[in-house]
Structure 1
């Protein structure tokens, strides 16, 4: 799709938005219900597409993509009328007589750029929030997950006229054309490198953005942790989707005293969850492409591989792999891994771990396994990160009751539930001033006799 065609889509959507049709809450509800029905109708095709792109099983596809998306729609349908209402606020005495209120209003034409690792969830979930808030949307799915992009285009074309929601497929050329356009809001999920470019291009139009990026999310395990349970939950969170999860534990940062015991439990859990031969496990996913497969394979240090390490390039599969003893100077610790490699780094004191984490780029997630409540409070208070869990991994993003988003280098802004509605809404502050009285003291010429009244009203 060329620049002229994309410009035509944006122009058509802006015209539709200014018609006022999306301002109606009933219209938004109808749109969400249509989307809900279409997802349910095409669930088998969605699952098949995710299998082709990432090797995901139907169970994992529903648990991590389709089910979460349907949950977000259901949440919005229950709460949208409340979210869209004007909210009255107290009016200062100096503004007597008037009514003050905050009115949620849609931005207008939005651009949603999604990644390949959870290509259905991370495309449709923000779309749900954008529609609920009353916007139109141009959707740009990743070129790395073509099968899922195809079903997304089919599904959304059936649900919406292009003047309301339109899908633009393709690669870098289409991304460039889209970023040349003036959108009213841009929602991007992906890498830091591309996120910086999106922010630079958005700045040319002073377009507000939400950036959902990533980073090296630590998983701290202290000496009090239940190691068996910790290993079970870490293995689930790390190797889900073959490690291609933006909030996966990027590395374990454990107390040196428990490293060997924890390592033993991790090995047991990998075998238990993925079998003795993970590469032949049909429910274990694959890397998205040869490029990403090669990048991860190069990070495997044979001298530090204590478990796993086998690969199958034909299937784009890499075994769950443990690397120990790892250090912060290792190549695998210089970038977000985004694959099934789990380095194990140790600390001697929790204060040492906190200082080290805070010296690095702010991660998207942080996980702590500990039975010491005081230690948990210290870590959650003193460390900077987007979101996280105590004694679990990744589940903090699986609720519409809390916003999900990054912090610092891992992103800006949040979504899910009410936070998603607010992300795609501008809160207009409005004063409705009555006409039956007009206090004179604010007008010139200023009078000394009004000074005490002004001080009384504004103190």
Structure 2
């Protein structure tokens, strides 16, 4: 595949101006929505084949959320694309200030394997509504979805506008050598560093959606039944292969055992007595990832789950107790169906532990104490999160989603997706009817007048 030629043709197409009219952008999003609906069953089949995702989970997290996002974009885009008139200071008397919304150009979207369809298309929606052309690099670890994604895009758009480039690491490396106008990457922290380093060679702006060890805190005032239900759902959705899944549990020592009992009940209710025999239980994406996760099962003590099947690459929802920060499971993001448990007596212990480690992508707190909620929000730094829930903050187009520090750079969803793929170009329109002479070097007592104006 001639990658330089693909990018050059996309840049030429962008310079033609065809992608800029709002009517064109909305038409393309409408076509994309229709294509997703047309291929719904094939998408569900591909996700089942690559990850064994259930039809319900696959639709909810990979299809429905995209259809909702497209509808939101189409509804609101008209107000976003308009030039924005802003105030002008008295020092600029006679002029007006305007912010113009300009697409970057040709963007690269590198998608991960855990939500391989949704996380390829979701940033594409933002790129389209902002007026860009796009190259999508799907993950080679989900080959069925990758091939289907290419088929859908090829049937819906000309390659000079949007195209899918399949391949392994070498393909990603080749793409990163090219001079894109914007790069959007979703994946791990180590690869995110590589992407940012490559982007720096061309001073290309980036959005990095990464991950990290996202805590869930449960204090002694929490509704334990509700907390257990929502934690089990958020943690074991997609077999824990979710960048914003609760990575470890901080629970007040007074309610630890009652909470774990309820977690055990909900695991059985959601996945059966033997989750490994559940036909709808998501598998681990590869043998390498599976082996890494299995190695964590020797940390601490298994109090729930702990079983696994190497043939099907499945690991039962597992809770690890008697864990310390020195255990291997606490070093990096787990990204699997294993939840380590730590206890605390005072909320200060949780805050201090979180602040002393890389900033997480998400944070969840279950408490009936409003003061505790406010302390967590204002005394810890994290990408986003929820109070008395998990995961759902990612599913509203009114909240931007993104990380901070090690967990990412930039954000998207809803209007923020439009803003991410848009250059906000500032222009001062100056009058020619008169000219204030105070700025010129020959103006008598110029400094005195400038000091009066600029204060």
- Give TM class, smaller chain: over 0.9
User: 2 CA distance for matches of 1:105 and 1:334?
Assistant: 42
Cα separation, 2, equivalents of 1:302 and 1:367: 24
- Note the C-alpha offset of 1:316: 1.1
Aligned residue in 2 for 1:16? 13
| Aligned residue in 2 for 1:272 | 269
Residue 446 of structure 1: CA displacement? 2.7
Partner of 1:443: 440
SS of the residue corresponding to residue 13 of structure 1 reads helix
TM alignment of 1:16-165, pairs within 5 A: 16-165=13-162
Supply the distance in 2 between the matched residues of 1:20 and 1:312 (Cα, whole angstroms): 54
Among 444, 450, 454, the alignment partner of 1:454 is 450
CA offsets per residue over residues 430-459 of structure 1, 9 Å max, x none?
Answer: 1111212222222231312x5554334322
Q: Is the 8 Å Cα contact of residues 299 and 328 (structure 2) preserved in structure 1?
A: no
Q: Please say if 1:232 is aligned against 2:224.
A: no
Q: CA–CA distance in 2 between the matches of 1:403 and 1:287? A: 28
Alpha-carbon contact 1:301-1:323 (below 8 Å) kept: no
Q: Give 1:394's aligned residue.
A: 391
Deviations 1:297-327 (A, max 9, x none): 1111276011111111111111001111211
**Is structure 2 residue 245 aligned with structure 1 residue 286?**
no
**Structure 1 residue 210: Cα displacement:** 0.5
Please give the alpha-carbon distance, in whole angstroms, between the structure 1 residues aligned to 2:94 and 2:331: 61
Deviation at 1:204, TM superposition (A): 0.4
CA apart distance, 1:148: 0.6
Give 1:2-13 correspondences, 5 Å limit. 5-13=2-10
**Deviation readout 1:98-153 (Å, 9 max, x if unpaired):** 21111111111100001000001110000000110111101000010111111110
Q: By how many angstroms is 1:25 displaced?
A: 0.8
How many residues are treated as equivalent by the alignment?
A: 455
Q: C-alpha distance in 2, partners of 1:159/1:85? A: 27
Contact map agreement 1:328 1:345 (CA 8 A) in 2: no
Aligned runs of 1:335-346 on 2, under 5 Å?
A: 335-346=332-343
RMSD of the TM alignment (CA)? 1.1
Matched, 1:246 2:240: no
Counterpart contact for 1:216–1:251, Cα < 8 Å: yes
Q: Does the Cα contact within 8 Å between 1:217 and 1:363 map onto a contact in 2?
A: yes
* Alpha-carbon contact 1:243-1:339 (below 8 Å) kept: yes
Determine helix, strand or coil for the equivalent of 2:184: strand
* Preserved contact between residue 185 and residue 424 of structure 1 (Cα < 8 Å): yes
Residues 300 and 323, structure 2, Cα contact 8 Å, conserved in 1 = no
Give the equivalent residue in structure 1 for 2:357.
Answer: 360
Q: Which residue of 1 aligns with 2:305?
A: 308
Q: Report 1:155-234 matches (<5 A).
A: 155-234=152-231
Deviations 1:37-95 (A, max 9, x none): 00000010000000011111111111111001111100100011111111101112222
Matched residue SS, 1:64: helix
Cα distance between partner residues in 1 of 2:299 and 2:429: 70
Which stretch shows the higher mean deviation, 90-99 or 22-31?
90-99
> C-alpha separation between the residues in 1 aligned to 2:227 and 2:356?
25
Contact 2:300 2:322 in 1 (8 A): no
Alignment partner of 1:21: what SS?
A: coil
What CA distance in whole angstroms lies between the structure 2 residues aligned with 1:185 and 1:302?
A: 41
2: CA distance, partners of 1:457 / 1:72: 47
Q: What's the CA shift for 1:328?
A: 1.3
